[in-house]
């Protein structure tokens, strides 16, 4: 038996029980919060189309990707409540939609980080300004990449109505756990985006610290640094466990690792709820439209915040 066959068999046997109320609870929470937050964000972004920045274009597409992702969760909730099994074809299609939008989110987050870095590090460059105007085309490219890279693997994989496939969401995605797909996913889908975000965050923070406006206290540099750190933390917490276990599982498959893999997928879905908090609510466009400052002041411990706290955050909202 070849290594690839052994790997495929180990992945086919990587299953969890259907009834799992932890999955039901988390998926329900993610679905409700993400649905409300991302729909709200989309309404606000489309209503402010005239004042839309290049970064907002990426955030609009990110909200759409996260929304499409969570729309697949009700069927997972239905499954983990213990109801009758769904067809393997429907399970695979819903799994594919979820993964396409998850990696769409990863690429869009990477593009946002790169876009902000260029805006902060080269604010006067005409080439950078012209390149940033291509944001809609970059987003279109991201959608084409994620869909185009996923469909061939899915279509070429014959899905048989076996006991393994009928396990549906309790089984590992057939198309995502092929050796070639795993290697491409870990490299293009995670390592390159993570490296890009780390490098961009470093240069962006350094550029802000060295800027004249930061030295004159015209912007809240520590707050911007915390925002950048929070964005990276959300990315790592949500996506690092899943990709780490995705790389380990084909070689070291065992029940404990298998269970951890499924729970890491659950954690990855949390990103759809955390993106609005980490990105949308920190933009001036969103805050102006929903008057977040007044809501913030209603909290007792923030009643005495001085006006000095309302310093410009233009570098992250251009």
Q: What is the pLDDT of residue 12?
A: 56
> How many CB atoms neighbour CB 51 within 10 A?
11
- What is the token pair recorded at 27? 């998926």
Secondary structure of 169-188 as H, E, C letters: HHECCCCCCCHHHHHHHHHH
pLDDT in tens, 195-207: 999 999 999 888 8
Least confident of 112-121, 154-163, 215-224: 154-163
Mean of the per-residue pLDDT values for the chain?
Answer: 78
User: What does the alpha-carbon distance between residue 59 and residue 38 come to, in Å, rounded to a whole number?
Assistant: 10
User: What does the alpha-carbon distance between residue 202 and residue 3 come to, in Å, rounded to a whole number?
Assistant: 41
pLDDT band at 271 (very low <50, low <70, confident <90, very high): very high
Whole-model pTM?
0.81
Q: What is the pLDDT of residue 74?
A: 94
pLDDT in tens, 23-65: 999 999 999 999 999 998 888 888 776 656 777 899 999 999 9
Full set of structural domains in the chain with CATH: 16-316 (1.20.1070.10)
Mean pLDDT (whole number) for 10-15: 62
Least confident of 1-15, 17-31, 77-91, 217-231: 1-15
Burial track 226-260 (b if 16+ CB lie within 10 A, e otherwise): ebbeebbebbeebbebbbebbeebbeebeeeebeb
pLDDT band at 159 (very low <50, low <70, confident <90, very high): very low
Residue from 281, 271, 267 nearest 313 by CA:
281
Q: What is the pLDDT of residue 288?
A: 56
User: What percentage of the chain exceeds 70 in pLDDT?
Assistant: 70
Q: What is the pLDDT of residue 296?
A: 44
Q: Do 102 and 271 meet the contact criterion of CB atoms below 8 Å apart?
A: yes
Q: What is the pLDDT of residue 176?
A: 61
Please determine, for residue 311, whether its predicted confidence score (pLDDT) is greater than 50. Answer: no
Q: What is the pLDDT of residue 255?
A: 82
Residue from 247, 117, 92 nearest 172 by CA:
92
pLDDT in tens, 71-128: 999 999 998 898 876 777 788 888 889 989 999 999 999 999 999 888 888 888 889 8
């Amino acid at each position: 038996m070849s290594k690839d066959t052994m790997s495929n068999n180990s992945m086919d046997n990587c299953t969890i029980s259907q009834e799992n109320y932890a999955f039901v609870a988390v998926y329900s929470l993610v679905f409700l919060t993400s649905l409300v937050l991302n729909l709200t964000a989309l309404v606000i972004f489309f209503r402010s189309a005239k004042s839309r920045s290049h970064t907002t274009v990426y955030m609009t597409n990110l909200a759409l990707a996260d929304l499409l992702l969570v729309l697949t969760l009700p069927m997972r909730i239905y499954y983990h409540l213990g109801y009758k099994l769904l067809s393997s074809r429907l399970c695979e299609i819903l799994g594919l939609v979820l993964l396409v939008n998850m990696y769409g989110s990863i690429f869009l987050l990477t593009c946002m980080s790169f876009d902000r870095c260029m805006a902060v590090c080269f604010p006067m460059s005409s080439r950078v300004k012209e390149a940033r105007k291509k944001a809609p085309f970059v987003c279109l490219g991201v959608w084409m990449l994620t869909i185009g890279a996923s469909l061939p693997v899915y279509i070429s994989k014959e899905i048989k109505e076996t006991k393994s496939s009928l396990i549906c969401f309790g089984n590992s995605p057939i198309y995502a756990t092929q050796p070639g797909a795993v290697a491409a996913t870990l490299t293009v889908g995670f390592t390159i985006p993570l490296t890009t975000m780390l490098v961009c965050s470093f240069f962006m923070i350094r550029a802000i610290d060295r800027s004249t406006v930061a030295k004159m206290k015209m912007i809240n540099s520590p707050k911007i640094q915390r925002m950048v750190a929070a964005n990276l933390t959300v990315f790592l917490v949500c996506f690092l466990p899943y990709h780490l276990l995705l790389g380990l599982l084909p070689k070291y498959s065992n029940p404990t690792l298998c269970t951890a893999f499924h729970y890491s997928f659950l954690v990855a879905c949390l990103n759809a709820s955390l993106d609005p908090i980490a990105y949308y609510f920190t933009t001036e466009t969103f805050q102006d439209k929903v008057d977040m400052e007044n809501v913030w002041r209603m909290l007792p411990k923030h009643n005495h915040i001085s006006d000095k706290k309302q310093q410009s955050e233009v570098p992250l909202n251009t």
